[in-house]
Amino acid sequence: MTANERRFPMLRWLWLALAVIVLDLGTKAIATAMLTYAQPVPVLPVFNFTLLHNTGAAFSFLAGAGGWQRWFFIILALVVSGVLVRWLATLKANETWLAVALSLILGGALGNVYDRIVHGYVVDFLHFYWGNYHFPAFNLADTAITIGAFMLILDMFRKPTEEH
């Protein structure tokens, strides 16, 4: 174990963030190559693959804002990613749950920021619906961010003496 590994043991979880990025970008590339924009491909009675481009944030927030939001979200994601790496570096060796949560959020954020930098939008393709209600399309990066955020919320309710 190197000196840095002893000082920052939870940075070893950066592999998970990298795995999220690779899986996210890989699935987005497959979706882009195999799907026609905005044409649903039924998979289940409540789920389609539907290729969409999101210039906004979650649930297309600020999607029609005229272009400035692209750079705003890129800068925001990079700053948050820096904070997450720093937070990860400060975790104790027994705080695995929190390290996994932060790594999932980090990987998802960087997967989506790649899209914003390269394409100017985020590629979404997972589309759930129920009757006439359609949940906004999303991707694996969004899924990782959501799972990580849920884990952070659960972590707040865990006992302080509990091993992480």
Rounded to whole angstroms, how far apart are CA atoms 124 and 74?
17
Alpha-carbon separation of residue 20 from 25, 115, 122 (angstroms): 8, 14, 15
- State CA 129 to chain mean position distance: 21
Phi, psi (deg, nearest 5) at residue 80? -60, -40
Active site residue 24: no
Choose among 144, 134, 152: nearest CA to 25.
144
Active site residue 124: yes
Rounded to whole angstroms, how far apart are CA atoms 96 and 12?
10
Q: Which residues contact 21 (CB under 8 A, 6 or more apart)?
A: 107, 110, 111, 114, 141
Pick the catalytic residue: 24, 115, 124, 155? Answer: 124
Active site residues: 124, 142
